[in-house]
Amino acid sequence: MCPSSTDAAHGRFAEMVIPADSIPDTMPARDARMPVLIGTAPGEAAAAVRELVVAIFGLGAVGRAVAIALARMGVERLLLDDPSSYKPESLLTQPIAVDDVGEHKAASTARFCKQLSPGTRVFYRIGRLEDIDVAGFRGVGAMVLATDNLRAEVAAAQLAVDADVPLIHAAVHGETLTAQVRYFSNAGPDSPCGVCQYGPAEWELLNRETRFSCEAAADVRPAASTSSAPTSSFSALCGLAADLATMQVLRGALGLGAPVADTMLEYNGYTHRTVISPLVRDPDCPVEHVTWTRAAASAPLPSCTLAGLLLDAGFQSSPRSIFRVEHMQFVATAICGNGHSQPLYQFVPQAAPIGRCRSCKLELVAHPLHAHCRAPEEVLRPLLDRPLGHLCSETPRWVVVQQGERAALFSQD
Amino acid sequence: MQSGNEANEVSRRTLAKGELRHPDGLVGLGRQRLGPRSRRLLGAACATAAGSSVWVRRKSAEARDLLALCERAPRRLTVHQLSLGDELKALCELRVPVATRDSDDGDIEIVSGAVLGLSYPRAALLEAQPGYAFITILSPLPVWHAQVSAPPIQRLCLGDTLPAGVRVKELILMAYAALSMQTFQIDVADAAGVLNPEAARWWQNNPGRIPLSRAPFLADPEHEQGAWR
């Protein structure tokens, strides 16, 4: 385990570090097998590849193969995320060794990628995609999604739209020998996302896959479990999907051939044919198609006021503004078990204790009607001119200000 | 758990003479004309509705449905506060018999209504939500019900999972059925809904007191006292 593995297990990306003496002296130069692509100058493609930053979600048969392929190319940075571990059955389809069984997929893949490409910075995370911090996505050029459950698909669709990053979704359908790669450009509000393509069957499956435990009732953000069946396929089909996805990453990033934006590429093993079709936007898609444009605050975030951030974002004050401060909630009023209510007016982490009742000393919790994950300006109006540092129980790392279809992301880094 | 159809059948059989129902039932709720008070509430909430246009449209429609439900059952349901700031939030008063119990060895007391806090987040459109995600009971305190968690936050559980895009009007109807115990879950071994195992065991030992009312949602509460248990 590397020193930062604790971070990875707690939902934060940790950098994979391997001992210098474990890197063989015979490691080849990164460009030793880099082709001179038609239509590009010598070195041009290699330089573009070396600047690639790719996040990969799901590190099974498809995602791990994509990560390995990108590491072999010597990309700049990889962010690898998967909450699960390799099982004995993983040996049947996934590009792992026997020793990898029982290992966290994210840690195992990160280590292998780092060994293959010591010059690549490899970060990994063992957690749910839904809890990813979008502010940490600075510089990411593409996201690859290779999970087998719809909840992760929905979360990835929203994350990619928020972060303004192309999402390449690779999947297989073993029974029909189909490998499918969808490229969502997220190039603007009219671009489609994965959820735009959902029909009644997908919604029904999503509902069926999602289960909650009543023990989690006390949690503000209860974790759902997903009960999707394991993917049954041949490793060759998974490998093909991974290779097609990697090619789409390259084609998109390097602008090779016909545009890949908002297309679906499907290969079928029975017909032995490849079909490319356009992806279309559903105007009623429930994913919020609002890109968080990165904006610069005029001061460090704790010193900024919400009114100042509105100005920095180029927005007028409006009752339709909403403010999101990291994963904190704004609690206007807290209550205790005896029903006493008490004003709070603070952004607090969602699961953190709030304090005790002044009257009866019982523990206080956020009043459900007076707590907001995205706080409206109406609620915050008396506090707009106070520094964020005074309004938050913890130092805020990022804030999103949204008005309608426009949003600005202010990040501490 | 008793199914919705079974509960409706019980309600139909026990509808007492003189009870008033809206002639249209719940048909055409979207065409229900809103009275001046409802229009004011909706107008004020819509004026500060925030978020993307799809979310604003959806929560405005949900809010309208909620107010239309009040118009159809004016003595059953009242919306006191409505906000569409980000989540749809409403403070509602529901006339329904609700069991409370102050001491461990005391009998239950039945009160004639509950104040509900309704929160409908945007995430409800995107994925299934736990049954306790939407409704909390602000009063009475404490409610003695297997599907209601102990204070300070009395969450009402309407099942283990509610589907993505569940409608607000359905949540209210489910809340009425659950609180009046026309539908109920008292099997502590079944994870689908029990938030208070002690209350679940108490109700298992007192099945004759279930349901608390047989009156359907649209019956006039003024005329349903005879249907209480």
Indicate whether B193 pLDDT > 80.
no
CB–CB contact A337 B151 (8 Å): yes
Q: Which domain holds residue B91?
A: 4-227
Query: Is B132 within 8 Å of A319 when comparing Cβ atoms?
Result: no
Which of B54, B82, B122 is best to mutate for the A interface (most A CBs within 10 A)?
Answer: B54
Tokens 């006191």 locate to B80
Q: Which 55-74 residues of chain B touch chain A by CB within 8 A?
A: 55, 58
Task: Answer with the one of A278, A303, A326 that is the final residue of a domain.
Answer: A278
Query: Considering the domain boundaries, does residue A144 fall inside one?
Result: yes
Residues A316 and A252 in one domain: no
- State the average pLDDT for chain A: 90
Of B49, B152, B155, the CB nearest to A336: B152
**Residues B190, B192, B198: CA angle, nearest 5 degrees:** 65
Inter-chain CB proximity B157 and A335 less than 8 Å: no
Q: Let me know if residue A283 belongs to a domain.
A: no
Nearest Cα to Cα of residue A170 among A79, A83, A9, A58: A58
Query: For residue A285, is it within any domain?
Result: no
Our CA-based measurement puts residue A284 at a distance from the nearest CA of chain B, in whole angstroms, of 6
**What's the average model confidence in pLDDT over A60-77?**
96
The residue segments making up the domain with residue A152 are 5-278
Domain ends where: A227, A250, A278? A278
- Candidates A314, A326, A304, A331; CA nearest to A386 is A304
Query: Among A20-29, A67-76, A251-260, A270-279, which stretch is predicted with the lowest mean pLDDT?
Result: A20-29
Given CB atoms, is B100 within the 8 Å cutoff of chain A?
no
Residues of B in contact with A222 (CB under 8 A): 130, 133
Q: Are residues A218 and A185 both part of a single domain?
A: yes
The pLDDT of residue B20 is: 53
pLDDT band at residue B18 using 50, 70 and 90 as cut-offs = very low
Q: Are residues A151 and A42 in the same domain?
A: yes
**How do residues A139-195 score in pLDDT, each as one tens digit?**
899 999 999 888 899 999 999 999 999 999 999 999 999 999 999 999 988 999 999
- Is the pLDDT higher at B179 or at A10? B179
User: In this model, does residue A216 exceed pLDDT 80?
Assistant: no
Taking the C-alpha atoms of residue A214 and residue B117, their distance in angstroms, rounded to an integer, is 19
Burial of A13 (0-12, 13-18, 19+ CB in 10 A): buried
Query: Which of B93, B115, B127 has the most A C-beta neighbours within 10 Å, making it the best mutation to test the interface with A?
Result: B127
Is the model's pLDDT at A25 over the cut of 90? no
What CA–CA distance (Å, rounded) separates A14 from A56?
Answer: 14
Residue A224 has pLDDT above 50, yes or no: yes
pLDDT at position B11 is: 41
ipTM of the predicted assembly exceeds 0.90: no
pLDDT band (50, 70, 90) for residue B149: very high
Please give the tally of structural domains in chain A: 2
Query: In the structure, what pLDDT confidence band is assigned to residue A227 with cuts at 50, 70 and 90?
Result: low
Of A97-106, A322-331, B3-12, the poorest mean pLDDT is in B3-12
Same domain membership, residue A345 and residue A373: yes
Q: Tell me whether B123 touches chain A (CB under 8 Å).
A: no
Q: Say yes or no to pLDDT of B163 above 70.
A: yes
Residue A270 domain flag: yes
Question: Do A273 and A187 share a domain, yes or no?
Answer: yes
Give domain status of residue A71, yes or no.
Answer: yes
In this structure, of A141-145, A248-252, A339-343, B43-47, the range with the lowest mean pLDDT score is A339-343
Q: Do A217 and B55 touch (CB under 8 A)?
A: no
* Residue range A318-344, pLDDT digits in tens: 999 999 998 899 999 999 988 899 999
What is the reported pLDDT for A9?
56
Instruction: Kindly state the tokens that stand for B177.
Output: 């059925």
Are A373 and A352 contacting, i.e. CB atoms less than 8 angstroms apart? no
State the smallest CA–CA distance between residue A128 and chain B in angstroms. Answer: 15
How many domains does chain B contain in total?
1
Residues A244 and A384 in one domain: no
Is A160 a member of any domain?
yes
Contact A368 B49 (CB under 8 A): no
Residues A326 and A368 in one domain: yes
Tell me whether B47 touches chain A (CB under 8 Å): yes
* Of A393, A394, A375, the residue nearest A309 (C-alpha): A375
Top pLDDT among A24 and A172 is at A172
